[in-house]
Amino acid sequence: MKKAIFITIILVFNGLWLLAQPIITPWGNIKGFVVDGEKMNFETSVRSVKTDWSGCISSERCNWQGNQTYSFSGKTTNMSHFLQALPLNYAEQFTEIGQNSVKVELSIDATAEIDQAGTYFCFEIPGSEFVDGTLAIYSGKSKSGSVNLKSSTPNGKAEYIRKKGNKIIVKTAKREYEVIAGNNTEIFVKQNFIDRPGYLNDPLPAKAFVASDPNQSIADYQVYFTLIQGKAKNGDKKKVSYTLNVKGTPDKEDVQMTIDAGKPGRPFDGVGSNYRVKDLGRDSMVVNYCLNNIRVAWSRIEFNWSEWQSGENENPLLKARAGKLSKAFYEQIEMARILAKRGLPIIVTVWAPPAWAIDTTRHNRQGLEHDSKLSLNSKKIDKMCQSIADYISYLKSDYGIEIPLFSFNEVDYGVMVYHTPEEHAFYTKELGKYFASRGLITKMMLGDTGAGTIRSNKMVIPAVEDPSIHPYIGAVAFHTWHGCTEADCKAWALSAQKLNVPLLVTEGGPNSALHRYPQYFLDNAFQLSEIDLYLRVCKYAQPISILEWQLTPDYSVLTGKGLYGDNGPLRPTQRFWNLKQLGSTPEGSFAIPIEVDKPNITATAFADILNGLYTIHIVNNSATREVTLTGIPEPVKSFNIYVTDATRGMEKVNTVKVTGGKVRFTIDAQAYTSLMTN
C-alpha cells in the first residue's frame, strides 16, 4: 500500500513539474517557458551581428555544418556547436533551478578574427505581447534606466536604451520576465523584423533585419547582452552565466468552439508513413509494430534510380531479374510488397538520379546551401521516361504491385533533383504522358516540395495553369519541414482544388534536421509541437493524409531495443500515441469547419456524415480549461474523450453527453485531446 501511494505522489509531482519547464532546443536556444500549463513566449540565442547591423548569424536549428552535441538528463541539458560559417564555437549548459527558473552557463571561443559589430546573448520577446510594457535595466540593486516599449522605436533612434548592467526586468499586465547576468556588461534594446521569422518554421542562422513583415504588425523586441564588443580576435574567450526567471498569469477562461457539419470539405483517409528502408531485417521490428498498432492509410517508398540504371545504355530489367542489384534495393521492393498486401496505396519517389541523366553544365547551389540541386538533362527525356516506367512496370509484372503516384523528392530544395517551376511542368507532362502510353495507372504527383510555403507552392503553378498537363496529375503534395501557416496551407489546398485531385503531405514532421540530435525526439515540447502542426495542416490544407517521416527506426516513434540509446523493451513514445489518436479518425470522414475563440489552442474536426460519426482533435498549448462545443448534429448523443500527453497514451478519460447540440468538457494543459462519437 505504501508503495502505491509513493508511486502516485511521484506521478503527481512529475505532472506538476511538466507544467513548469523551459523549452530548450538542441541548438542552444530557449524557446519559452511553460508556467502553470501555459507557454510564456520568448527566445534566447547567441548572435554575431554584422558591422552595419543589417543582419546577424544566430544559433539556429538549420545550421548543417560540422557536428554538434546535445544531451539531457534530469533537469540538465548540454549542447555545443559553432555559429554557421563563423570561427565562433559556443557551448551551453541549462539547469532548471526552480519551477519558473533556468540557469544558462555559456562559453564562447573565437578561433579566428571575425569582422562584426559584436557577439551577443540575445533575449527576444514578442512585440504583440509586450507592446506598451516596460523594460528596466539594473546594475546590482540600482536601476540604470527604464523605457516603455512601443509599436516601433522612437523616431530617429536605432534603439530604446543602452546601459551598463547585469539584469533586465520586462513587464506587462500578465507577464514578467527577468534575466540576470553573472557580471555587468553593456545591455541595449532594439526592435527588428527578420526576413525568415520563426512562425514560418524556416529558421536559418543567417538572418537579415528588415523594415516590415506582412504577417506581423509589431516587430519583436531584442535585448542584447554584450559578450564581445566589436571585432572578435583569434583566442577571444568568454564564460558567462544567465538566470531566467519567468512569471505569468495563464489564461484560464472558458473556451467556445463551434463546428459546422453542414459544410463538409475534403476527405481524410488517416495518417500514412514513409518507408525508405535500408535494412529490412533490422527495420522490420519497428515497421511491423507500427503497422499492427496504427491505422496506416498511405505509404511512400524510394526508387533508387541511380542503381536501377547506372549506365545509360544498359537494360535494367535484365540486371534486376538476374538478382544483380544490391540487397537494399530488393528489400525496398519487399517493403512495397508488405504494404501492397495490406491494401495501402504506394507512392514511388526518386531521390538520387543516375549520372547519365544529370545536366553537368548546370550548378544550382548558392552560398551555404547544402542540398545537391541536380538538374536533369532534358535532352535525354525519352530515355528517362523509359527507365522510370520500366521500373514501375517491373513492380507490376514481377511482383503484382501497381503504383498510383510517382514523384521527385523536394524539387524546390533540390534533394536531390532540382526543378524550376517550368521544368517541373515539363517533366510532369512528359513522364505522365509516357506512363499513359505504356498502359500504367501511374500518374504524376505534383510538388512533393520540401516546404509547405506559398513560395514553394509556386513550383506547381505552371502545371496547374496548363490544362494539357492535368490528365497526367494524380495528386499535389508538400512536406511540413518549413512553412504551414494558415496562408501557406490554403495556397496548397487551392492548387489541389483547381486540379480536383487529392492533396497529400508526403513528409510530416517539424524539423528535418532531427537526425543530427535524435534525443530531441523524446522532448515533451517537441512531441506536442508535432501533432499541433498536423492539426493545423488538417484544418487549413485538408490533405487526404499526412505521411509521417518515418514509421521505421529512422525518426522512430518507438523507443527501446537500442533506439535513442534505450536498451529496454520496445515501446511507444508520445509521438506514437499522437499518430494513433489522429489515425483513429474514422474512414470516410470529411474535414468540417471548426472555430475556436481563444489563442494557443489548435483544433480540427472531421465528420463521417453517412454513419453519424464526428471527431474533434484539440491541442492545448495553454492552461487547463473548460470548453463548450456547439453545432453538434442532432443524432449525436455522446462523445468518448481520449488524451495523449507526457504521461498518457490515447487514454480514455471520460464520456460526455450531448444536450441541445452542445457538450461541455475539460482540456488539460499541454495535452492532445480528441472527442470521438460514442
Start-to-end C-alpha separation, the chain: 36
The position carrying cell 509556386 is 458
Predicted confidence (pLDDT) per residue in 462-475, tens digit: 999 999 999 999 99
Distance (Å, whole) CA 365 – CA 375: 11
Q: Are residues 482 and 616 in the same domain?
A: no
Distance (Å, whole) CA 305 – CA 502: 26
Is 488 within a domain?
Answer: yes
Q: Cβ–Cβ contacts within 10 Å for residue 169, how many?
A: 17
Q: Are residues 403 and 257 in the same domain?
A: no
- pLDDT exceeds 70 at position 5: no
Per the prediction, the chain carries an average pLDDT of 94
Task: Report the percentage of the chain scoring pLDDT > 70.
Answer: 97
Q: Are residues 442 and 409 in the same domain?
A: yes
By the 8 A CB rule, do 466 and 425 touch? yes
**Residue-range definition of the domain harbouring residue 15:** 2-248
- pLDDT exceeds 70 at position 75: yes
Is 364 within a domain?
Answer: no
- Residue 13: which pLDDT band, with cuts at 50, 70 and 90? very low
CATH of the domain at 610: 2.60.40.1180
> What does pTM read for this prediction?
0.94
Is 358 within a domain?
Answer: no
Whole-number Cα distances in Å, 451 to 225, 370, 410, 518: 34, 15, 8, 21
Distance (Å, whole) CA 527 – CA 647: 12
CATH of the domain at 508: 3.20.20.80
Domain closes at, from 546, 563, 585: 585
The phi and psi torsions of 640 (rounded to 5 degrees) equal: -90, 140
Reduced to 3 states (helix: H, G, I; strand: E, B; else coil), residue 183 is strand
Q: Are residues 574 and 616 in the same domain?
A: no
Q: Are residues 547 and 661 in the same domain?
A: no
By the 8 A CB rule, do 255 and 226 touch? no
Q: Are residues 260 and 143 in the same domain?
A: no
Q: Are residues 223 and 155 in the same domain?
A: yes
Predicted confidence (pLDDT) per residue in 112-123, tens digit: 999 999 999 999
- The helix (run of H) or strand (run of E) holding residue 111 is none
Q: What does the pLDDT read at residue 9?
A: 30
Q: Cβ–Cβ contacts within 10 Å for residue 171, how many?
A: 17
Q: Are residues 242 and 330 in the same domain?
A: no
**Per the omega criterion (within 30 degrees of 0), is the bond before 416 cis?**
yes
Mean pLDDT confidence for 586-603:
97
CATH of the domain at 192: 2.70.98
594, amino acid identity: I
- pLDDT exceeds 60 at position 218: yes
Distance (Å, whole) CA 503 – CA 266: 9
Mean pLDDT confidence for 515-532:
94
- Residue 19: which pLDDT band, with cuts at 50, 70 and 90? low
To 10 degrees, the CA torsion angle through 147, 150, 204, 476?
160
Minimum mean pLDDT among 191-200, 302-311, 604-613: which range?
191-200
- Residue 523: which pLDDT band, with cuts at 50, 70 and 90? very high
Mean pLDDT confidence for 162-175:
97
Is 362 within a domain?
Answer: no
Q: What does the pLDDT read at residue 7?
A: 30
Is 405 within a domain?
Answer: yes
- pLDDT exceeds 70 at position 2: no
Predicted confidence (pLDDT) per residue in 181-208, tens digit: 999 999 999 999 999 888 877 788 999 9
Q: What does the pLDDT read at residue 390?
A: 98
Distance (Å, whole) CA 302 – CA 336: 10
Q: Are residues 179 and 103 in the same domain?
A: yes
By the 8 A CB rule, do 673 and 656 touch? no
In DSSP notation, 65-89 reads: SS--EEEEETTEEEEEEE-TTSSEE
Q: Which three cell numbers stand for residue 175?
A: 507577464
Q: What does the pLDDT read at residue 16?
A: 39
- pLDDT exceeds 80 at position 446: yes
Mean pLDDT confidence for 615-632:
97
> What Rg value do the Cα atoms of the chain yield, rounded?
26
Mean pLDDT confidence for 335-343:
98
Domain closes at, from 536, 567, 585: 585
Instruction: Select from 128, 200, 37 the least CA-distant residue to 528.
Output: 37
Is 361 within a domain?
Answer: no
Domain count, the chain: 3
The position carrying cell 540575445 is 122
- Residue 20: which pLDDT band, with cuts at 50, 70 and 90? low
Q: Are residues 242 and 385 in the same domain?
A: no
Q: Where are the alpha helices (DSSP H) in 573-614?
A: 574-583
Task: Report the percentage of the chain scoring pLDDT > 90.
Answer: 92
Is 370 within a domain?
Answer: no
Mean pLDDT confidence for 140-158:
93
The phi and psi torsions of 148 (rounded to 5 degrees) equal: -95, 130
Q: Are residues 55 and 149 in the same domain?
A: yes
The phi and psi torsions of 624 (rounded to 5 degrees) equal: -60, 130
Predicted confidence (pLDDT) per residue in 222-278, tens digit: 999 999 999 999 999 999 999 999 999 999 999 999 999 999 999 999 999 999 998
By the 8 A CB rule, do 526 and 546 touch? no
